Amino acid sequence: MSIVRNNSQATKAAAALARDMEDTHLTDTVDTSVSEKEGHIPGSGTLTLNLSGSFGRDELIEGVKWDMKEFDTGVSPESRVIVESVKSSAIGSNVGSNLMVSANLFNSGGGKTHYLSSGVTNSVGWTTSQGQDQLVPLGYAPILSIMPNEYSRVQTEHYRPGAGVDDSLVQRYGHLGTGDSLRANIVPFPGEDYYYVAKDHVVLDIIERNWDALGHDVPGERVRDGQWVKIGSNLVEKVLDELDNKVLKHMPLTDMSKLNFCLKADKELAQHLDDAHDYPVSVTMTVGYRTVASDK
């Protein structure tokens, strides 16, 4: 088990453990809503990107990628966002083969997850082709299937997140990291069955909101050294596990600085293309998003 631990925090917690303090009680529920986060104003935005270039047959089969950081988009959100819509408004392909456009929409977690296992649904419906796993890299979601030599200027929506996670949960916990980052400001003691948890940690907020189901009264606990609350380790682990695996990892959150689009051709269908020629492709994509609170 990996624990993110600060030496000064551990020292304070250990000192608090040995100190006989007067009882003080938590009086306020921790509010992790977006509006309470200082230095961050939630909002929404739209980015329009032109994915274009001339590519050889082997490049298209291998896959061509565009990094969001390569585009001059002005001020981009620093925190993770919820991509609310992905649309195409112009398509021009001089490739006599089907092409798949995909994007790593759910890139805020620690690892790569198959889009069908992400827990996120697409209200428009995921586009599907034969050889899907070869066309859509792991960690990416299929956005648009382009027909051979397709030309179009019709705006079409390809992705809109479905109702996978309650919006109130996204607003309350969407700013949080996953995995080890959740353990910041939680101090374990070897051989003991409890942790010291910082009084403003989200774990205490969840326990307090669900005190009847979890059987623990946070406001009744003593605050030690003005900062720490002593909570059973099993309860803390239960809350962390459910928050991480049942909520955070299923949120449709996107780190815009890591957003990539990928264009790939089916290996078998593209074999007839002349490997001595480059084929121009141009796709205009519009990405609509709204921000959630930052955990910084």
Same domain (yes/no): 91, 154:
yes
Instruction: Give strand ranges (E) for the chain.
Output: 44-56, 64-67, 81-93, 99-103, 141-146, 151-152, 156-159, 186-188, 194-198, 223-224, 228-232, 253-254, 260-265, 278-291
CATH number, domain with residue 263: 2.60.120
Each as own residue / partner, the long-range contacts of residues 234-238 (CB below 8 Å, 24 or more positions apart, any chain) are: 234/193, 235/207, 236/186, 236/195, 236/197, 236/203, 238/214
Same domain (yes/no): 147, 273:
yes
pTM over 0.85: no
Q: For residue 210, what pLDDT is reported?
A: 76
**8 A C-beta contact, residue 273 and residue 73:** no
- Indicate whether 39 belongs to any domain: no
Confidence of residue 262 (pLDDT cuts 50, 70, 90): very high
Same domain (yes/no): 144, 225:
no
With a cut of 80, say whether residue 107 has pLDDT above it: yes
Q: For residue 158, what pLDDT is reported?
A: 97
**8 A C-beta contact, residue 244 and residue 206:** no
Spatial distance between the Cα atoms of 263 and 256, rounded to a whole number of angstroms: 18
Same domain (yes/no): 58, 149:
yes
Confidence of residue 251 (pLDDT cuts 50, 70, 90): confident
Same domain (yes/no): 85, 201:
no
Same domain (yes/no): 241, 273:
no
**Alpha helix stretches (DSSP H) within the chain:** 7-18, 57-62, 132-135, 167-173, 202-209, 211-214, 233-242
Neighbours of 79 (CB within 10 A): 20
- Indicate whether 296 belongs to any domain: no
Same domain (yes/no): 147, 264:
yes
Same domain (yes/no): 50, 157:
yes
User: What is the tens place of the pLDDT at every residue in 135-182?
Assistant: 999 999 999 999 999 999 999 999 998 855 566 666 677 667 666 677
Same domain (yes/no): 62, 150:
yes
**8 A C-beta contact, residue 218 and residue 208:** yes
List C-alpha distances in Å: 163 to 122, 160, 176, 249.
9, 10, 20, 15
Neighbours of 272 (CB within 10 A): 9
List C-alpha distances in Å: 11 to 130, 161, 189, 202.
58, 45, 11, 22
Of 1, 23, 4, the C-alpha closest to 198 is: 4
Same domain (yes/no): 275, 156:
yes
**8 A C-beta contact, residue 282 and residue 48:** no
- Indicate whether 159 belongs to any domain: yes
User: What is the tens place of the pLDDT at every residue in 31-67?
Assistant: 332 233 333 334 678 899 999 999 999 999 999 999 9
- Indicate whether 154 belongs to any domain: yes
Same domain (yes/no): 215, 76:
no
With a cut of 90, say whether residue 121 has pLDDT above it: no
For residue 64, the enclosing domain spans 45-165+253-291
